[in-house]
Amino acid sequence: MKAAAEYSSDVQTPEQTRSTAESRPARTFAAYPGWLKAGFCVCVVIAVAVVIRRMIVLSSVSSVGGPPEMSNLDAWFKSHAVLTWVHITAALAFVLLLPIIFRLRPEKAGTLQSAFFVLGAITGATAYGMSRYAVGGWLERSAVLVFDTLFLLSLAKAYQRWREGDAIGRRIWMTRAVAVLLGIASTRPVMAVFFATERLTHLTTSQFFGIAFWIGFSINTIVIELWLRSVIKRSNVLS
């Protein structure tokens, strides 16, 4: 009788089960705010334009005009055409996939979700080879190596969460990975500012390129991390 009483006390009625489930914090993920969507769209447009410009240069006989450092960069890419084409083609496909993949539910993504990870891995892996020639020297190269590694680590975490069926964890780490990758787009407006103020700062292209890379990638990484941490705290989800 005592054992039966103890057993019955541990068994919950349907009403108690429903009450317990409702009392648990729901694992939800906030929608992306308007300002973040706008920044994402701007970065995507810039990234696509950068890739198209690189494709035009690779396909042309003569290099597009610009500072000597940029001409040397174009010449290096042409001399490593296979690596460059693989990198920019994978990067373009990856970026164009982003607006689609973030709209789909995990169970509906299917092949596109797999393509996201494959294209991301190719883009990140080939970026290491692309960093062999850097206009900004080791300062620029260090930014590429640090943030490319951060991108691949975030991509790996997103893949792990996807395999585990953790939709929220997958979304969090995918967001981190994409933000880091699109840092290459954020470097362009920073470079434009340096080009516009070159007479005032007296910094040459080779001197400010590395600075621009660190600033651009850092902006994306810090902004998305601050937003994600606020979402994780408010929504009671784990990163």
pLDDT, position 1: 41
- Our count of domains for the chain comes to 1
Domain encompassing residue 159: 31-235
pLDDT tens for residues 34-54? 999 999 999 999 999 999 999
Q: How far is CA 185 from CA 99, 201, 213, 218, in A?
A: 16, 23, 10, 12
Return mean pLDDT, the chain: 83
pLDDT, position 167: 87
pLDDT tens for residues 56-73? 988 886 655 566 777 777
pLDDT, position 238: 53
Evaluated on CA atoms 69, 75, 78, 83, the torsion sign reads negative
For residue 1, being part of any structural domain is answered with: no
68-72: long-range pairs with CB below 8 Å, 24+: 69/135, 69/204, 69/205, 69/206, 69/209, 70/135, 70/205, 72/133, 72/135
pLDDT tens for residues 87-128? 999 999 999 999 999 887 766 677 899 999 999 999 999 999
Most confident of 13-27, 43-57, 106-120, 196-210: 43-57
For residue 14, being part of any structural domain is answered with: no
For residue 23, being part of any structural domain is answered with: no
Give the integer Cα–Cα distance in Å for 34 and 169. 22
For residue 26, being part of any structural domain is answered with: no
Give the integer Cα–Cα distance in Å for 171 and 168. 5
Average pLDDT of the segment spanning 221-236: 88
Residues 6 or more apart in contact with residue 105 via CB below 8 angstroms = 167
Percentage of the chain modeled with pLDDT above 90: 54
For residue 75, being part of any structural domain is answered with: yes
For residue 24, being part of any structural domain is answered with: no
For residue 190, being part of any structural domain is answered with: yes
Q: How far is CA 17 from CA 12, 13, 20, 194, in A?
A: 6, 6, 5, 62
Give the integer Cα–Cα distance in Å for 126 and 107. 30
Task: Name the strand (E) or helix (H) holding 49.
Answer: helix 34-59
Residue 9 has pLDDT above 90, yes or no: no
Average pLDDT of the segment spanning 183-190: 95
